[in-house]
Amino acid sequence: MKPPMTINLSADICGIKLVNPTILPAGFLGTTKEILKRVANSGAGAVTIKSISSVARDGHKNPTVLMYEAGMLNAVGYSNPGVKAAANEFSNIGEIGVPVIASIIGTEADDFLKVIDGFGDLLSKSKDSSSRFSAIEIPLSCPHTPGFGTLAGQSTPEATSEIVSAVRKKCGLPLFVKLSPNVPDISKLAMVAQDAGADAITAVNTMGPGMVINIDAREPVLDFKVGGVSGAALRPIAVRCVFDIYKAVEIPIIGVGGISSGRDAIEMMMAGASTVGIGTAIYDRGIDVFKGVTDEMSDWMTNNGVGSLNEIIGAAHK
């Protein structure tokens, strides 16, 4: 009999150490420190706060989230309490117990800088890593909020370069740039982000937007009518995006989109992701999905004689 294998699930993204590669992506549950603690205790290797703007936003009216056969549509519209309240909420951030990523949003490059200012020491590289965010993420890719993301042209190479450079100059923490799958050439955009100073690419945000109409009401269900598509429907697209980006850039990739099992996570890593985001799957599998996915990864690795994640990252390219 072979001796039992030791499986090492620890991951590294831009020098940030994770006990496992699963990450809570922006927009899921990240409203308070206490709920992020719960997500961390449920097995996530890192967590992301819900995207924060310089001033408070109520977001779109409900319905903002809807399930359909192949996933989820959402048009939350970036509701958030603004950076002042968020800085207060996330003080003592070390209590969360795992690395925390700050997702920040703005309409112009200047707005992003205001948010960074507003977070103060929480985004200061000189602070001890347990008393600040571990990284900063800028989504240039939301498909359903006027003034932001794709609706504001933030996913063009020009805007991406401008915003990434500005944030790069302002903040010394690892900088993740989150891209939309709805662009003609995602590898080009990833290269632009890398050249402008990004330390990692988060791929991808929701796709679309899509629309679901309730035929009995004769109305689109989402109040904003259209919303970003996530979940199972997005997975093959996200995998392809990560595969293309891996070929194009040197910096690591956080693969996000439709992951709901250990096999899905390994698939995303074989495409080239160093870590994986899990959002929509919380609906079906609950907050324990993080533990579930890591256990399933570990089982697959045991059965296949794979001892560490380095053996699978980018494996589909060989």
State the nearest-atom distance from the C-beta of 216 to another protein, in Å: 4
- Between CA 108 and CA 280 the distance in angstroms is 29
State the nearest-atom distance from the C-beta of 251 to another protein, in Å: 29
- Between CA 118 and CA 195 the distance in angstroms is 27
- Between CA 60 and CA 157 the distance in angstroms is 28
Quickly tell me which residue has 């699930």 as its tokens.
9
The region that residue 165 occupies, defined by phi over 0 for left and psi between -120 and 50 for alpha, beta otherwise, is alpha
Cβ distance to ligand FMN smaller for residue 63 or 157: 63
The first and second tokens of residue 99, run together, are 């690395």
Give alpha helix (H) positions in the chain.
33-41, 83-89, 109-119, 157-170, 186-195, 235-248, 262-271, 281-285, 289-303
> Under the rule (CB under 8 A), what is the footprint of another protein?
27-32, 34-35, 37-38, 41, 50, 56-59, 61-68, 72, 76, 79-82, 85, 89, 214, 216-217, 219, 221, 223, 279-280, 282-283, 286-287
- Between CA 152 and CA 99 the distance in angstroms is 30
- What is 79-143 written as a DSSP string? -B--HHHHHHHTTTGGGG-S-EEEEB--SSHHHHHHHHHHHGGGG-TTS-GGGS-SEEEEE---S
Running DSSP on this structure, what letter comes out for residue 316?
G
Residue 132: what residue type? R
Phi then psi for residue 253, to 5 deg, are -125, 135
Q: Which of 22, 53, 180, 205 binds ligand FMN (CB under 6 A)?
A: 205
Q: Is the peptide bond before 4 cis (omega within 30 degrees of 0)?
A: no
State the nearest-atom distance from the C-beta of 200 to another protein, in Å: 24
Q: Which of 44, 178, 244, 255 binds ligand FMN (CB under 6 A)?
A: 178
Catalytic residue among 14, 142, 171, 241: 142
- By CB under 6 A, residue 160 contacts ligand FMN: no
Interface segment toward ligand FMN; rule CB under 6 A; list 4-12, 14-22, 25-33, 83-91: 25-33
Q: Which does 205 bind (CB under 5 to 8 A by kind): another protein, ligand FMN, none?
A: ligand FMN
- By CB under 6 A, residue 293 contacts ligand FMN: no
- Residue 142 annotated as catalytic: yes
State the nearest-atom distance from the C-beta of 6 to ligand FMN, in Å: 29
State the nearest-atom distance from the C-beta of 288 to another protein, in Å: 12
Interface segment toward ligand FMN; rule CB under 6 A; list 39-47, 69-77, 151-159, 166-174: 69-77
Active site residues: 142
Q: Where along the sequence are the contacts to ligand FMN (CB under 6 A)? A: 25-27, 50-51, 65, 72, 74, 76, 78, 103, 139, 178, 205-206, 230-231, 234, 256-259, 277-281
